[in-house]
A and B are shown apart, each in its own frame.
Chain A
């Protein structure tokens, strides 16, 4: 049982989606995360163990490599695709309440900014770490954040910005969130953002990369 989960973790890390996928070339023609997860379920392995010790472990490993600069965004994307192919087999257990998520994170790129690569990456890594994601997309106003917070009790919020000029919109959105739901934790990130800026506007944290964020919340 341990062997199959170990192998599943490695397939997710490598981004081997299914048998037909040509990537990575060294595993061409071999079973991918899709087939191996189906086998694990058939073997009667606890779905929570498949998720934690197989899929999440694989995503964690690629995320750690990304944090160390040993993997790149495309590696993260294909690992997430492998995980998504595997998750299809675990969906019935989520619906049946056999698998618990860690909680909910609301993500959005702030008003005026349409950049989404960094935000999407944060979503992938948090999902891979077992969080439920509410992705509000780009150009998100304070009102949209507030609405999502009301619809997702106890959710955390992550805001992203690409530019100096849009970063400043974080302060206004944060103030509105503090006024409406003072206990909501709000984290910020993005190219121009720094810890000093997070401190200056009173955010609950700044993270330079998504994996550190996932490990810290």
Chain B
């Protein structure tokens, strides 16, 4: 286990809610979307060996998030048996190709595809974890990929590029098939008492621009996100967007049209989090943002310096929670991650 202790920590989801409502939290507050299993294992006291408890892996996750000092635990769709779109074989190394694994390329494969049923998923954990969640802690949950991500996985990026221009009806049918199922997922999970907020994770940008022109996104992708945000809000919960890449061209859509409460995922080479706070901080909460390359390659001291500046901003102006620009994959050195989260102890 990592020898780390956050000072005087008792989870209180209200802290994060204040940030999402662009207010100043009562104390330094952290945000992270996902952490690698090595870090989770080191932060948690629990071992998974020889257990028959089907919730054991989630309890371990809750332990890890609590020990690291988060007011919530994220439970991402890929950890659950709720809703997943069966994919073809996708070769994976450090990255994978957006063209790989496609299994819907024409009308025949569209009709032959086994579309999953969101309502037949296993949502047991959202009810049963109520007895295990520490007082004050909530779950922030997300689906197994977003609307565009799932369509790209099913069709392939280059195939989808051509399809949007050459077969309007098939493109519409595929987006509707994916979007309606993801909407149903959020309609089911958002009302659970254990759930404090929902993350909608859908990457829309490359380094220089959005993956598709904004008009395409507005036609096929964003309407589903708008419905998902409405469903989350109807359940009285907050909706957080995790979307990587250059999305400046559609930030007004994200804030004004879709109505997301918070935006997560920032990169220094695209829009550094400090710049994002200046550009949009008065209209949407900004979460995380310590660039992945920065977190991977800078020294713990440099990471703590930048983290401290961001936390000082948080405690002065609100609307911001400290965390990585994306997640904590296994290539982030543990000492660098700890340097970031332990900065909260300097400001207590």
Contact = CB atoms under 8 A, between A and B. Distances in A.
B95 A72 contact: no
A192 interface: yes
Interface string B207-219: 1111111001000
Nearest to B294: A164
B64 interface: no
Contacts of B209: 69, 72
Contact of B95 (A22, A24, A77, A115): A115
Interface string A138-172: 11000000000000000000000011111000000
B208 A22 contact: no
Nearest to B208: A209
A112 B93 contact: yes
Interface of B is mostly: loop
Nearest to B292: A164
Contacts, number: 92
Interface centre among B93, B162, B209, B216 (most CB of A within 10 A): B93
A22 B164 CA distance: 11
Contact of B96 (A74, A115, A208): A115
A130 to B, nearest CB: 22
Interface of A: 15, 21-24, 69, 71-75, 77-78, 81, 112-118, 120, 138-139, 162-166, 191-192, 194, 208-209
Interface residues of B, number: 35
Secondary structure of the A contact surface, majority rule: loop
A72 B94 contact: no
B166 A22 contact: yes
Nearest to A76: B161
Contacts of A162: 94-95
A166 B161 CA distance: 26
Given A192-B293, A194-B269, A209-B208, A74 B162 contact: yes
Interface string B291-335: 011001100000000000000000000000000000000010000
Contacts of B331: 163-165
B165 A73 contact: no
A123 B213 CA distance: 21
B97 interface: yes
Contact of B165 (A15, A71, A208): A15
Given A71-B213, A164-B296, 20 more contacts: A21-B166, A22-B166, A22-B168, A23-B165, A24-B165, A69-B209, A73-B212, A112-B94, A113-B93, A114-B94, A115-B95, A120-B99, A163-B95, A163-B331, A164-B292, A164-B297, A165-B296, A191-B207, A191-B269, A209-B208
B158 interface: yes
A77 B168 CA distance: 17
